[in-house]
Amino acid sequence: MDRIIKRLDAVHEKLLADVLPIDADRFRRRPSENEWSVAEIIYHLNLVEERVIKDLERRLAGEPCKPGLLTRLIPTSIVGIRLLRVKAPKGVLPTNPPEKEIAINKFQSTRRRLKDLCAQHGAERLRNVVFNHPFLGKLSGSAAVSFVGYHELRHYKQIKEVLREI
């Protein structure tokens, strides 16, 4: 779990280092009508992470349940590859993102909640929770946390592209 948290922190720090210096106008500007702005990407990341936390909290309140062997073989790292474009589920579409300062503060707060959840329950308990991902299927709780890091990496790459275009 320490390795997963270190990766979460590393990606998060790089993303924030690129996003914090940009002005509010650039933060909200879309490269084109069909592409997300940095604001929308950050908001989407926050929505996804909040959904993961909520589902993990619900699952952690129940009995331990190991995911099947096949589901444990799914590498969450595939999420970080941007070759395959996936449409975000309706519940995590970034409609009407908040202003930059509010978005960043909420994004930071959500990450602290995820890390606190991991610290509170530990790696062993998270391995004994099943998280239902809309595309990857059933994952262990620790794999769900790993997914958050790779998902953020995927969108960090997208942010880099957006910043080059605007």
Domain limits, the chain: 2-165
Residue 73 confidence (pLDDT) = 54
Residues pairing with 132 in the sheet:
138
Residue 65 confidence (pLDDT) = 82
The low-confidence residues of the chain, meaning pLDDT below 70, are: 67-84
Residue 137 confidence (pLDDT) = 80
Residue 77 confidence (pLDDT) = 61
Residue 144 confidence (pLDDT) = 94
Q: Which amino acid is at 136?
A: L
Closest CA relative to residue 115, chosen from 11, 2, 16: 2
Report the CATH architecture of 2-165: Up-down Bundle (1.20)
Residue 98 confidence (pLDDT) = 97
Q: Treating both helix axes as pointing N-terminal to C-terminal, what angle do 100-127 and 38-60 enclose, rounded to 10 degrees?
A: 30
**Cα–Cα distance for residue pair 66/128, rounded to 1 Å:** 5
Residue 27 confidence (pLDDT) = 98
Residue 45 in contact with residue 151, Cβ under 8 Å? yes
CB 32: neighbour CB atoms within 10 A?
9
